[in-house]
């Protein structure tokens, strides 16, 4: 005769001795972790890479701009030319020639678009 005292839960014939709510909770947790690892983690990595790439690009552009300004200023102020012959346009023309040459080189290296 089974003991149905208030302190002991009744045993049914279908239980295996394990706590089935814990098994279901563990299974749900594992499914959620798999879905998270396949969806949220890649999106988070992509967003993080995009943000860091944009920040690095902006900082690189600012650093390049400051470098060009510094070089132009250095050449304009400290070139050992006669004071009346030294003008800003000579340094600007030199910088423009460098950038024009770099742009022409990049233009020649481009590839035409594929025709669809």
10 located within any domain: no
Is residue 3 situated within a structural domain?
Answer: no
Report pLDDT for 57. Answer: 97
Range of the domain at 30: 21-108
pLDDT digits (tens, 9 = 90+) for 86-114: 667 777 888 899 999 999 999 998 887 77
60-71 pLDDT, tens digit per residue, is 999 999 998 888
What's the pTM? 0.54
Cβ pair 111, 92 in contact under 8 A: no
Count of CA atoms in the C-beta half-sphere (13 A) of 37: 6
* 57, two tokens: 């690009």
Would residue 101 count as lying in a domain? Answer: yes
- Whole-angstrom distance, CA of residue 15 vs CA of residue 74: 85
Q: Is residue 13 part of a domain?
A: no
Give how many domains the chain has, as a whole number: 1
Q: CA torsion, points 21, 24, 27, 33, in degrees to nearest 10?
A: -80
Is residue 16 a part of any domain in this protein?
A: no
Residue 115 lies in a domain: no
Whether 72 is covered by a domain: the verdict is yes
Tokens (6 digits) for 50:
């995009």
Which alpha helices (H) appear in the chain, and where do they start and end?
A: 20-78, 88-109
- 66 part of a folded domain: yes
Q: Kindly report, residue by residue over 21-33, the tens digit of the pLDDT.
A: 889 999 999 999 9
């Amino acid at each position: 005769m089974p003991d149905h005292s208030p302190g002991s839960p009744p045993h049914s014939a279908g239980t295996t001795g394990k706590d089935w709510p814990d098994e279901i909770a563990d299974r749900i947790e594992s499914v959620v972790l798999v879905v998270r690892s396949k969806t949220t983690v890649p999106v988070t990595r992509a967003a993080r890479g995009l943000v860091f790439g944009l920040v690095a690009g902006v900082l690189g552009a600012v650093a390049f701009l400051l470098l060009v300004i510094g070089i132009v200023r250095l050449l304009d102020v400290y070139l050992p030319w006669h004071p009346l012959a030294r003008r800003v346009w000579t340094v600007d023309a030199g910088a423009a020639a460098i950038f024009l040459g770099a742009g022409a080189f990049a233009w020649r290296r481009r590839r035409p678009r594929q025709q669809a």
